[in-house]
Amino acid sequence: MSAQLSQNQDLLSRTLRSVWHPCTQMKHHERMPPVPIARGNGMWLYDFDGNRYLDAISSWWVNLFGHANPRINAALSGQLDRLEHVMLAGFTHEPVVQLSERLAVLTGLSHSFYGSDGASAVEIALKMSFHYWKNFGRPQKTAFLSLKNGYHGETVGALSVTDVPLFRDTYAALLQRTTQLPSPDWRNARPGESSEQVAIRAASALEAVLVEQHERTAALIVEPLVQAAGGMAMYHPRYLREARALCDRHGVHLIADEIAVGYGRTGSFLACEQAGIRPDFVCLSKGITGGYLPLSVTLTTDEVYRVFYDDEMTRGFLHSHSYSGNALACRAALAVLDIFEDDAVIAGNLARSAQLTSRCARIADHPRTRQFRNTGMIWAFEIETTDPQFARKFHGHALDRGLLLRPLGNTVYLMPPYIMEEEQMEMLVAGICAILDVTD
Ligand SMILES: *Cc1c(COP(=O)(O)O)cnc(C)c1O
């Protein structure tokens, strides 16, 4: 046995003794242990046995420009020598100021409030909207609207507006009651209906609820264009335009949770741009640091900001996180924005998306796949299977072929970093087709 192999075994037994892994029934690791990773480089993750895995899901959608990216590494080492962190209450620093200024230009929202992960950005948006209405003299506006099949994170507030039964049902007794609206998912189309018509129909359901409930409703929260964790449901931008107009008409905030779809994932920097709308709140996280460090931000308008600006302490937004606006995380986020600019990433992704889509024809035409769909740098399809363990088995077969893929139920999706090369696309598509041929 080589020294490396034993290092692998050693880490495995130690992780199972001491690390409680996320989104995992730990007993399942008896049959399929986690994979110890020694290092990463570009699209690849390497284990201790010399195997490598193509990271086709950006390590849970966070990695935009590859592992061990030289430009982000350099930015971080420079920052390490100056300032790693300082509390953001009563203090400020260059990276957090620059990041807020640049995000204001990119989103049209001029005030940035920082958290550490996606769920905290959602909590901040929900609390800010609620508090806005209280300060505004409408304290009865305390309820939230969300979409069927939506996902906004798993802390108690964020889970209240999430509709993924696997994550939600166990904790139902802890959650706020919210109203769930029909999803504009184009797969809900009735015979002869276009995706735009599905969006219009979903918007009229929203209108009916707003007419009835607007006086007690603070905000509507949506994932723009793609409902990601709920199974990569995609929808027409018309829904966002209608939702914006309806929220305006009824005095309800629109919260765009762009944690998964922002940062170029759907083909524009923000998904909302494709509908030509500006939300009252935008939540960003995941890709914000290129997959390096936990950071999230909730951006909002001057109008919201002004309602908190007062001599009275408690009219201010007193929410806080210890690592709010961490200098290292903000520096990584600035390096990410530099790459977007220097490499014209949004334009480059147009070509990259078209290349992978055309290679995916083989997947779309495969007899076992259904509902093949694509938005920007997200691809998804359903698999015909009777096997309840499909997702885990597919994940295992993919690892055997050097691919990191992690289906959501029967939905297989691709969400690669924005650096994928043609050869890697070929390997990915060929690997998926081969797995579909051998599994059942
Ligand atoms: C991942 C995700 C979240 C939660 O982010 P965490 O960093 O995992 O807390 C919230 N909303 C959406 C749309 C997400 O995809």
Which string of DSSP letters, residue by residue, matches 309-346?
Answer: -SSSGGGS-----TTTT-HHHHHHHHHHHHHHHHTTHH
385 is a domain residue: yes
Tens digits of residue pLDDT in 396-430: 999 999 999 999 999 999 999 999 999 999 999 99
How many domains does the structure of the chain reveal? 2
Residues 123 and 228 in one domain: yes
| Spatial distance between the Cα atoms of 304 and 132, rounded to a whole number of angstroms | 7
Pick the atom of ligand 1 nearest to 227's CA. Answer: 13
Distance (Å) from CA 37 to ligand 1 centroid: 23
Shared domain check, 223 and 355? no
If you measure from the C-alpha of residue 101 to the centroid of ligand 1, how many angstroms do you get, rounded to a whole number? 24
Q: How far is the CA of 154 from the centre of ligand 1 (A)?
A: 8
What's this model's pTM, rounded to 2 decimal places? 0.97
> What is the pLDDT confidence band of residue 440, given thresholds at 50, 70 and 90?
confident
- Confidence check: pLDDT of 3 > 80: no
- What pLDDT digit, counting tens, does each position of 75-108 carry? 999 999 999 999 999 999 999 999 999 999 999 9
| Residue 407 structure tokens | 């289906």
**Residue 1 confidence (pLDDT) above 60:** no
* Structure confidence by residue, pLDDT tens digits, 22-53: 999 999 999 999 999 999 999 999 999 999 99
pLDDT at 4 over 60: no
Q: What is the pLDDT of residue 439?
A: 82
Pocket test for ligand 1, best of 58, 152, 168, 227 (most atoms within 8 A of CB): 152
Choosing from 319, 342, 365, the residue where a domain stops is 342
User: In terms of domains, do 201 and 282 share one?
Assistant: yes
Residue 187 domain boundaries: 72-342
Q: What is the whole-number distance in angstroms between the Cα of residue 313 and the centre of ligand 1?
A: 31
Residues 377, 320, single domain; the answer is no
> Does residue 60 sit in the same domain as residue 204?
no
What is the predicted pLDDT for the residue at 265? 98
Atom of ligand 1 at shortest distance to CA of 228?
Answer: 15
Pair 61, 287: CB distance under 8 Å: yes
Q: Mean pLDDT for the chain?
A: 97
369 and 401 together in one domain: yes
User: Is 199 in the same domain as 320?
Assistant: yes
Using the mean position of ligand 1's atoms as its centre, give its distance from the Cα of residue 118 in Å: 4
Q: What gap in Å lies between CA 284 and CA 52, rounded to an integer?
A: 30
- Is 5's pLDDT higher than 80? no
**116 and 60 within one domain:** no
Q: Residues near ligand 1 with C-beta < 6 Å? A: 117-119, 122, 151-153, 223, 228-229, 257, 259-260, 285-286
Residue that terminates a domain, selected from 342, 373, 403: 342
3-state secondary structure string across 291-312: CCCCCEEEEECHHHHHHHCCCC
Residue 126 tokens read as: 């929900």
Q: What is the pLDDT of residues 175-204, one digit of tens each?
A: 998 999 999 999 999 999 999 999 999 999
- For residue 178, the domain's CATH number is 3.40.640.10
The answer to whether residue 6 is domain-embedded is no
The verdict on 141 and 248 lying in the same domain is: yes
CA distances from 128 to 158, 175, 224, 305, 333 (A): 13, 18, 20, 9, 24
- Going from the C-alpha of 304 to that of each of 252, 253, 299, 301, 331, the distances in angstroms are 12, 10, 10, 5, 27
Residue from 59, 160, 259 to probe ligand 1 pocket by mutation (most atoms less than 8 Å from CB): 259
The whole-angstrom separation of Cα 288 and Cα 278 is: 19
Residue with tokens 């950005």: 121
Q: Are residue 246 and residue 291 in the same domain, yes or no? A: yes
Burial track 173-182 (b if 16+ CB lie within 10 A, e otherwise): eeeeebbebb
Q: Which of 316, 342, 368 is the last residue of a domain?
A: 342
Q: How confident is the model at residue 7 (pLDDT cuts 50, 70, 90)?
A: confident
For 224, the 3-state DSSP assignment is: coil
